[in-house]
Structure 1
Amino acid sequence: MRVVLVGGGVQPIPPTGYGGVERFLDDLRRALEADGVEVVVLNRVRHRRTRDEIPFALEVPRALRRERYDVVHAHTPVVANRLALGNIPFVYTSHSRHWYYRERLSHRWGYWLERRAVRRARVTVALTEPLARTMRGAVRAPSPLPIEVVPIGVDTEAFRPDWAARTGRRALGVGVVLPFKRWHLAAAALRGTGVTLRLAGPAPSAEYADRVRAAGEGVEILGEVDEASLRRLYAESDVL
């Protein structure tokens, strides 16, 4: 079997820093190859801007015509909708926050793209059962949606606890430090417990970073960290 994993054209695969979807794609590639599946990763990075997904998506059908494949697996809604427009069958895994967070017009546009991608996919992979229920309630379809729940796997060789380094007082959050991640709620929940919240990921908004620090006690915003540092943070943290 030959599978084409299609990225978003925004970050490299594997990512050099922040990039949860890209990290997921690289892990999936390695797992499939270990299982004997032939994998092609289709991704072209221009300037690492979110809007770069659009020109990348436009060129995906042409790139696929040069490939031999059995399955096309999309992971971003713009790419998925371009595949649907070209009548190219695809599997879709949704990683989007827009199922739950839609404060701006751009978020509502993303939500529309997500629902259309799920409706047009041959099969949709939901990473959690609650997300699958949300999809079924949000997407109108003439027949039951083909949604499969496949939780994100963990490489237990790479990510192992370091019991000697754990203190019982460290919490770790990994991801961009922006309001849709709700880090201020995590910080507030830990206030008064003696547990330190450390956040690893880019912090593009100084205003929101200050809000998170003010919500808790001893919050540490680490910024982007390399792979070795991230593994160490996971190993020595007590709450994720």
Structure 2
Amino acid sequence: MRILHLGKYYAPHAGGIENFVADLAREQVRGGDEVMVLAHGDRPFAPPLTEVIHGVLVRRVRTFGTLVHTPLSPGFGWELARALRSFRPDVVHAHVPNVSAFWMLLARKSIPLVLHWHSDVVPSAHDAGLRRLYAPYAVFERMLLERADAVIATSAPYMQTSAALRRVRGKCRVVPLGVAPERVEFSLRERDGAGRGRVPMVLAVGRFAYYKGFEHLVHAMRGLEDARLVIAGDGPMRGRVEALVDALELGCRVSLPGRVSDEELRRHWSEATVFCLPSIERTEAFGVAMVEAMAYGLPVVSTDIPGSGVGFVNHHGVTGLVVPPGDASALADAIGTLLDDAAGREAMGRAARKRFDEFFHIGPVRESVSDVYGELLGHVAMPLRQTAEAR
């Protein structure tokens, strides 16, 4: 089968969606599919670039900066038309939010379209530009949902509470996001030995955006005097969180290294004792970083965000602990409970790895996505896959 993915960006651009698309595309190639990804270049004015990464044909389209989190790429429509002609996909798999996916409204309706609904666009009070532009965006969003042949939601709670998906619930399918273990280079033996004899380490990973709640995690560290915290990532709120660390005089125990290399991030994963996702609102739709933590056998402390898939990923009392969002004291108590109970912590870490293997390993996720394709293509889907494997 020939699959064309439409992404906002593509790995090595940092981001949970970008990593997921790369893991899925690579796994589809392993399964015998021909895969192309059309995405935006992440460096403004850089010329278009075509490369093959792990067997995936990747075309990065020229951009001219961004406006309200949106890449400005007037040539994306032309590039999409060219890809449809030359690659001749059996299915187009568009990952949204992504304004450039709207170009599919001009494509032939005979081309099956799958929308991967990673999150709603939430016009937050923290983002004035998004609030102003959401109304016209929503018009095209509804048209794209009507045009789609299938919609993949990443969790049942998110699908059930999404106002945008309410009208198209009949063509929604739930497939959780997945991670390729080899990308995070999981090794229990390495992790078990790395943190022993050291100060317990709490790890958080993600973009410094308003909804991540990192400031609450920093406040929580005031009550965790025998632990250290690393928050790996970058973004518009990083400077504010750095100022908070200084104001609370936590610089000796709280580290904000910014965006780190893959090698350094793997080191942080291996040294961590507990992973924390302190997000405060539904813009955190799933939490791919939690899945990566579970691949490493780490217990997770996360927040109970109504309507988000975060609660589906982390089961309270089984794979970690869940606390109210925006509550620094509750975060401190939950993290402290795990740090003080080695046996309980290790049991939750084992349960986290087991849940990863059952639900979030990219292999089974790829199979579920293929089932969605098969529903659209009917009896044609299996012969196409068999033909690809025969080659």
TM-score by length of 1: 0.80
CA distance in 1, matches of 2:248, 2:159: 32
CA distance in 2, matches of 1:96, 1:215: 34
Unaligned runs of 5+ in 1: none
| Bigger mean CA deviation after superposition, 225-234 or 100-109 | 100-109
| Bigger mean CA deviation after superposition, 223-232 or 212-221 | 212-221
CA distance in 2, matches of 1:32, 1:127: 18
The equivalent residue for 1:123 is 150
2:297 paired with 1:224? no
Choose from 186, 200, 203 the match for 1:159.
Answer: 186
Please give the secondary structure, in 2, of the residue aligned with 1:64: helix
The equivalent residue for 2:372 is none
Query: What CA deviation, in whole Å up to 9, does each residue of 1:196-221 have, x standing for no partner?
Result: 22111124445422355257943211
2:202 paired with 1:171? yes
Choose from 250, 256, 274 the match for 1:239.
Answer: 274
The equivalent residue for 1:106 is 129
Q: One-letter code of the match for 1:185?
A: H
CA distance in 2, matches of 1:207, 1:102: 20
Q: One-letter code of the match for 2:193?
A: A
Kindly state the Cα deviation for residue 72 of structure 1 after the two structures are TM-superposed.
0.6
CA distance in 2, matches of 1:233, 1:177: 18
Aligned ranges for residues 195-214 of structure 1 at < 5 Å? Answer: 195-205=227-237, 207-213=239-245, 214=247
| Bigger mean CA deviation after superposition, 31-40 or 110-119 | 110-119
Query: What CA deviation, in whole Å up to 9, does each residue of 1:44-88 have, x standing for no partner?
Result: 425163343542543323432222111111113313322134345
Change (3 A) 1:69 1:216: farther
Please give the secondary structure, in 1, of the residue aligned with 2:169: coil
The equivalent residue for 2:92 is 72
Unaligned runs of 5+ in 2: 45-62, 276-391
Query: What CA deviation, in whole Å up to 9, does each residue of 1:4-48 have, x standing for no partner?
Result: 11222xx4x321x52332222211111111122211122342516
2:111 paired with 1:95? no
Larger radius of gyration: 2
CA distance in 1, matches of 2:32, 2:209: 39
Kindly state the Cα deviation for residue 124 of structure 1 after the two structures are TM-superposed.
1.8
CA distance in 2, matches of 1:198, 1:67: 44
The equivalent residue for 1:43 is 39
Change (3 A) 1:179 1:18: same
Q: Is the CA contact (8 Å cut-off) linking 1:75 and 1:94 kept in structure 2? A: yes
CA distance in 2, matches of 1:185, 1:100: 22
The equivalent residue for 1:14 is 11
Please give the secondary structure, in 1, of the residue aligned with 2:89: coil
CA distance in 2, matches of 1:22, 1:205: 21
Q: Is the CA contact (8 Å cut-off) linking 2:214 and 2:241 kept in structure 1? A: no
Q: How many percent of aligned residue pairs carry the same amino acid?
A: 33
Q: RMSD value over aligned CA atoms?
A: 3.0
Q: One-letter code of the match for 2:228?
A: T
CA distance in 2, matches of 1:106, 1:26: 30
Kindly state the Cα deviation for residue 100 of structure 1 after the two structures are TM-superposed.
8.0
After TM superposition, what 4+ stretches of structure 1 lie above 6 angstroms from structure 2?
none
CA distance in 2, matches of 1:207, 1:78: 28
Q: One-letter code of the match for 2:5?
A: L
Aligned length: 234
CA distance in 1, matches of 2:3, 2:211: 33
